[in-house]
Each structure stands twice: as C-alpha cells, then as structure tokens.
Amino acid sequence: MEPMHLIVGLGNPGAEYAKTRHNAGFLLVEKLAEQWRAGWGNEHKFVARVAKAERNGRKVLLAEPQTFMNLSGEAVGALVKFYQVPLEKILVIVDDADLPLGEIRLRPGGGSGGHHGLESVTQHLGLKAYARLRIGIGRKNEVRQISGHVLGKFSADESALLEKVLKRAANQMECWVDAGLQKAMNQFNGVVDSTNEEK
C-alpha cells in the first residue's frame, strides 16, 4: 500500500486566533479539506485536528496542531510516527513575514527563518529536510518586533488577495500530491498574479 501524504498547516488554536496572519497554514489546509470534501475530527492522541482525504487514489492526511505554534512539532512528530509517513511525503505550511503578501514559496528543506513553529517541527523530526510551503504575510515598516502584526487579522484588501493566494497554494498542494515537489515548485512558486489564477 502506498504511504500516506501528510500536509500540516501551522497556526494557533482558538477563536481569537482564527483568520490571523499567523494562521495562514490553518487557512490553507481548511481550504484543501473543503475542496476535497474531507471532514475534520479531533485526535486527542496527536493533539491535532485531522481530516482524511483521497486525491486521485492517493491518501492524504490534513492536520492542524492544537498545541499552539511553538509546540507544533509535538503533533507533527506523533502523526509521522503513527502513520509511518516517509520524509518525502511530509509537507508543512507556515506564514512568513519575510515574504510579501501575495507570494508563496515551496522548498524541499532549509532553516526555520526564526519561525517558532518550524523550529519545533525540526526539533521533533530531528532533521530539516522536509518540504515546507511559506505563505507571505509581509511585515509592517520592516520592524523586527512583529508579534502584533502576525497575530492581527487580514484587512479587507489583504483578504481579497489572500483568497487568490490560497487558491494558488491549494493548486500547488494538489500538484505536489499528484506530481511531486519539483513540478509543484516550478509551476507555482512566486508572486500570485490574478490574471493567471484561472489556469
């Protein structure tokens, strides 16, 4: 039997954090679950919400750790171990304040870039060579202290652009499951252009 794909969106649980910039990962896996008609359930042993889907005959597990961002790795590590997910079928989605809103970047590995969620995942997996999709959320005035910005909600203008970003990113995730990392990177990485989002 073919191993399961695992797509984990990082964020903070709770109504007060819903639809904040820091929860871009949650927003994308929720969009995927909607597209794939997958229902969510709470899995207490993983401290995560999970949704099981199928994409062209391939099994995909969508997950939202419920541990708060800086402990995300606890849930990811537990899911990977339980479902025996191979490294090349793990993908983690995060917000990135160093990328402008409107840009997405899928990579096969790398550092955390100061993102506490990725730091935790790397710690629990014991390696950096897992795919991660960064969704740009920008930063205000190039300030390093950005907690207020990342925990803030998207403005009306930002939300309109975000919808296009999530659509593009969801297509990229489908391409990753169907055709692998390289094609998904080549075809979808970059700045979202509203004129080509209908492809």
Tell me the residue type at 84. Answer: Q
Label residues 155-169 b or e (16+ Cβ within 10 Å = b). eeebeebbeebbbbb
Predicted confidence at residue 150, as pLDDT, reads 61
d(CA 104, CA 122): 21
Tell me, yes or no, if 124 is annotated catalytic.
no
Predicted confidence at residue 140, as pLDDT, reads 62
- In words, the CATH class of domain 5-196 is alpha beta
d(CA 15, CA 13): 7
Phi, psi of 17 (to 5 degrees): -100, -5
Question: Which residues, given as ranges, of the chain have pLDDT below 70?
Answer: 1, 140-151, 194-199
Q: What is the total residue count of the chain? A: 199
Q: In what order do the strands lie in the sheet with 131-136?
A: 40-43, 48-55, 58-65, 5-9, 90-96, 131-136, 103-107, 190-191
Q: Give the residues across from 131 on adjacent strands.
A: 91
Predicted confidence at residue 114, as pLDDT, reads 85
Predicted confidence at residue 190, as pLDDT, reads 96
Per residue in 171-197, pLDDT (tens digit) is 999 999 999 999 999 999 999 975 444
Predicted confidence at residue 151, as pLDDT, reads 63
Predicted confidence at residue 198, as pLDDT, reads 46
Instruction: Give yes or no for a contact between 91 and 28, defined as CB atoms under 8 angstroms apart.
Output: no
Catalytic residue among 22, 115, 116, 149: 22
Domain residue ranges in the chain: 5-196
Predicted confidence at residue 48, as pLDDT, reads 97
Predicted confidence at residue 145, as pLDDT, reads 47
